[in-house]
Amino acid sequence: MAVYGYARVSREVQDLTRQLKALSKAGVKAENIFKDIGSGKDFQRVEYQKLVNKILKKGDILYITSVDRLGRDMKGIEEEYRLLTEVRECQIISIEEPFLSTSSDEITNNLLRPILLKFLSWVAERERKELLKRQKEAYLSMSKDWKGRLISNKTGKVIGRPKKWKELTKKQRDTVEEWIRGERSCLSVSKELGISRSTLHRIKEEEYQ
């Protein structure tokens, strides 16, 4: 019997730290924790698929912080839960929802858990829909500048401003300015600095016009 952990966040801007700390505190070794960054509605997650299809064996224990780490919609969460417990015959320990952890109690396994799982899966799906709705409303409420670029309601700044420019050294910026003055070709500057030509043109438009 082996012990594993699985952690997932939806986007790169989110942090896995909280989940990793919880899994470590539960006793899962760092080398046995599998991590993914990607939407829960998409089950083509490299580390998850590797864990489920190649690593987990009958009787192994899988720790997760919450069942919504298995997915974001009700059907998906239920399907993955059953795959792990009934097909792979593994034990699941949900740290934040201990009542959804598998046990030897037949009544809990067969009667109570399916009801609780369906309810919490529904809650997770509803929360995802509400989040998408709020994101859409926030997007539609954004004003635009004279170039048609979206302005953040929170910061008042243009969204999508090239971050690459801020990362350049003074010497690299001087190289970009040589191209802007017509002293260098866009292609040569692109190759020298490792910046795409489209990014260079955005920098020119937003920083020099």
pLDDT digit string, tens, across residues 56-86:
999 999 999 998 898 877 888 888 988 998 8
**C-alpha closest to that of 48 among 19, 11, 7:** 7
pLDDT at 50: 93
In the beta sheet, which residues pair with residue 143? 151
pLDDT at 47: 92
Could you tell me the pTM of the whole model? 0.57
* CA pair distance 144, 19, nearest whole angstrom: 38
Structural contact between residues 162 and 202, judged by C-beta atoms closer than 8 angstroms: yes
Q: Show the tokens assigned to 8.
A: 């997932």
pLDDT at 23: 97
Q: In the chain, which residues have pLDDT < 70?
A: 11-14, 38-44, 103-116, 120, 139, 145-150, 152, 154, 156-166, 206-209
In the beta sheet, which residues pair with residue 158? 151
In one letter, which amino acid is 127? Answer: E
Phi, psi dihedral angles at 134 (to 5 degrees): -65, -40
Token look-up 């699985």 returns: 6
pLDDT at 6: 97
* CA pair distance 19, 37, nearest whole angstrom: 12
What domains are defined for the chain? 3-134 (3.40.50.1390), 150-208 (no CATH)
pLDDT at 77: 85
* CA pair distance 177, 55, nearest whole angstrom: 53
* CA pair distance 102, 206, nearest whole angstrom: 56
